[in-house]
Structure formats: structure tokens, C-alpha cells
Amino acid sequence: MNRQEARKKRKNGGWARSKSSAGKAEIARVFAEVKAARKCPAKELWAFSEAEDWLVRSEIAARKDCPPDLQLFLAADPSDLVRAAIVKNKSAPPEVLARLRNDPSGTVQLAFQERVNPNA
């Protein structure tokens, strides 16, 4: 699934947007599914990358099996916590890290400091 397909799924109600208990339950289900899967096909990761909840997107960004093109897509995420998760991901390619290097978010910059000096 590519970026356009993921956005189409989101627009067509593929993800619960309400804050109702049913919407929260859907978010919790998706998050648990993403976190539990040791290996997840790229198509599924792309689908999850358009979730309304930043927690789901940050879990995708932190996965070692997150494809580089998806990491590049998530590098433009509105949530600084998602972008920081990419920086902390040891499998993040240099071109994605270069894109985030000058991110204005303090959270992302702190993630870079932790990446360079994990014992600080």
C-alpha cells in the first residue's frame, strides 16, 4: 500500500475518528496488533501509518522492519513524537535522518542527542 492508498483508506473511514468508546477500542486494537506483530508486511505497515492516533504511527516508525520509503513518509508527520521515533530507530536510513536533522522540534533534537550519546 502506498501513501495515496493509505490516505484514501483514512478518508473513506478506514480509521475510527470519533472519541467514542468504539473509536477508542479500535485504536487500542490496532495499536495492540501493530505492537504484537514481530514481522509485518509493508502493505500493513502502510495501512497503519495513516492511523489518526499518533501512538499507532509512532509504533510503526519505531519498528525495525519499517521500510525506508515509509520512514520518509512518516518523517513529515505532524506529531513530533512520531518523528522522534524515527530518529531513535536504529534502522533509519541516512537520508531520512538527514531530512529530520534540522527539525525545529525539541523532542526530535533530543532524540538525535540520545542517538549519538545513548549513555548521557
Q: Give the domain ranges of the chain.
A: 3-116
* List of residues 6+ apart from 89 with CB closer than 8 A: 61, 62, 63, 64, 66, 71
Torsion angles phi and psi, residue 107, rounded to 5:
-65, -45
Average pLDDT over residues 92-105: 96
Rounded distance, CA 57 to CA 38, Å?
Answer: 16
How do residues 7-66 score in pLDDT, each as one tens digit? 554 455 444 444 555 566 766 676 677 667 667 788 888 988 888 889 889 999 999 999
The whole-model pTM stands at 0.73
